[in-house]
Amino acid sequence: MLNVQKSDLESFEEQGFMIVKGVLDPENDIKPVEEQYSIFLDSIIEKLYDAGELSSTYKELPFLERFCKVLFKGLVSIRQLDITLPPNYSADAPIYLGSTVFHHILRNPRILEIIEMLIGPEIYCNAVQHTRIKPRERDIPEDMLLNNLVAATSWHQDLGVLDPEADDTEIISVWVAMTDVNENNGCLVIIPGSHRQELVQHCHNSGANGLIRPIHIPDDRLSRDESMPVVMKAGDALFFHKRLMHSSQPNTSDTIRWSFDLRYNLMGKPNGRSWLPGFVARSAANPESVLTEAEEWAQNWREAHARLLQNGDSKKPHNRWHPDDPVCA
C-alpha cells in the first residue's frame, strides 16, 4: 500500500514535486523489465559478435555493464533502448517496444494510482516516455561527454519540449529510479517551487545532442542554495510539475544509474505530441477505452512511424523553438 498523505498532495501543489517510496516492486516490476532488456541486448551483441565487430559477448557482465561496453565502442545507441521515437523519424529510427515496459512501467497500477490522486481518473499516457542510462563519467568517451542522454543534463523544464498546444494541459512528469540514485551517481536536482514561474525560452546547448536549457538563467545561479538533490532507492518515483526546473549531475560513482522518465496528462486535453501515439491508461468514465495489450501499443508506434515517413514528417521537430533563434546567440 502506497503511503501518500494529504500533506504530500498539498506539498505537490506548493513545491511542484512529490517523492513516493516503493512505487516499483524490485522482484515483480524491476526484474522483469531488466530481464527483457537484457535478452534484447543479447540479440544485438550476438549479431555484432558474429559479424566480427566484437571480440566478446560480455556474457559474464550484468545488463548495464554489458550495454555500456558496446555503447562506448559506438556499436549501440541509448536510443535503441528508448520507448519513443528519436527526433529524426528516419526509416531506421530505433524504438524499444518490449511488453514488460508497457505492463510494469507505463501501466504500473501504483504509478496510475498516484497520477489519479493528482489529476483525477481520466488519465492519458503521453508519448514522451524515455529510459535513461547514465554511465560512470570517467568511462564515457570524450566525444560522448556532451550527450545529455548519457552524461549530465542541464537545467530545463519538461514543458519546453512539448508543442505550445499543451501549455494549459495538466501534465505530470514521473521519474522512476530503476537503481539507487544519489548525489554521486547523477541523481536529479530540482528547484522546489520553480513550477510557479512561467515557461522560459530554452536554447540548444552547442554539441549537446539537442539538449535544451533556459535562456537568461545561468547554470551557476541555479546550482546554488535553491537547488535540491533527489536521492532515491530503486523503485522510488519522483512526481513533478511540467514547469519544475530540474537537471542531473555527472555520475562520479562506481555504479551505473538507470531510470525511466514518463509523462501523463488529463484525458481529452492537448498532449504536446499529437503526432505520436499515447494511449488511455485509466478511465472511470469510459473503461473500455483503456489500452491493455502490449502488442497493440507496439503496433500503434509502428503505424505512427510509417505514417510520419509517408507524410514526409521524418524531421518533425520536438521542440517549440528553432535552434537558430537570434535570442540564443
Tens-digit pLDDT profile for residues 97-129: 999 999 999 999 999 999 999 999 999 999 999
Segment 290-296 shows an average pLDDT of 98
Q: Is the pTM of this model over 0.95?
A: no
* Interacting residues of 273 by C-beta distance below 8 A, sequence separation 6+: 126, 127, 128, 162, 163, 318
222 pLDDT above the threshold of 70: no
Please report, rounded to a whole number, the percentage of residues in the chain having pLDDT higher than 90.
Answer: 71
pLDDT at 216 over 60: no
Strand order in the sheet with 153-156: 153-156, 246-248, 188-190, 228-229
Residue 211 pLDDT class (50, 70, 90 cuts):
very low
Domains belonging to the chain, first-starting first, are: 7-25+99-313 (2.60.120.620)
Q: What is the pLDDT of residue 209?
A: 37
pLDDT score of 151: 80
Strand partners for 244: none
Mean pLDDT of 289-298: 98
Confidence at residue 207, expressed as pLDDT on a 0 to 100 scale:
42
Chain centre distance of CA 126:
11
Summarised one tens digit per residue, pLDDT across range 89-102 is 889 999 999 999 99
DSSP code, position 312:
T
Confidence of residue 296 (pLDDT cuts 50, 70, 90): very high
Output the pLDDT for position 152.
Answer: 82
Q: Residue 156's pLDDT is what?
A: 86
From 83-87, 89-93, 136-140, 210-214, the region with the lowest mean pLDDT: 210-214
Q: What residues contact residue 98 under an 8 Å CB cut-off, 6+ apart?
A: 33, 36, 37, 40
Structure confidence at residue 318 (pLDDT): 59
pLDDT beyond 50 at 7: yes
Q: Confidence band (pLDDT; 50, 70, 90) for 84? A: very high
Do the beta carbons of residue 314 and residue 307 sit within 8 Å?
A: no
Q: How many angstroms separate the Cα of 41 from the Cα of each of 7, 26, 106, 193, 315?
A: 42, 21, 21, 40, 27
| Average confidence score pLDDT of the chain | 89
pLDDT per position as a tens digit, 146-189: 777 788 888 889 998 888 999 999 999 999 999 999 999 999 99
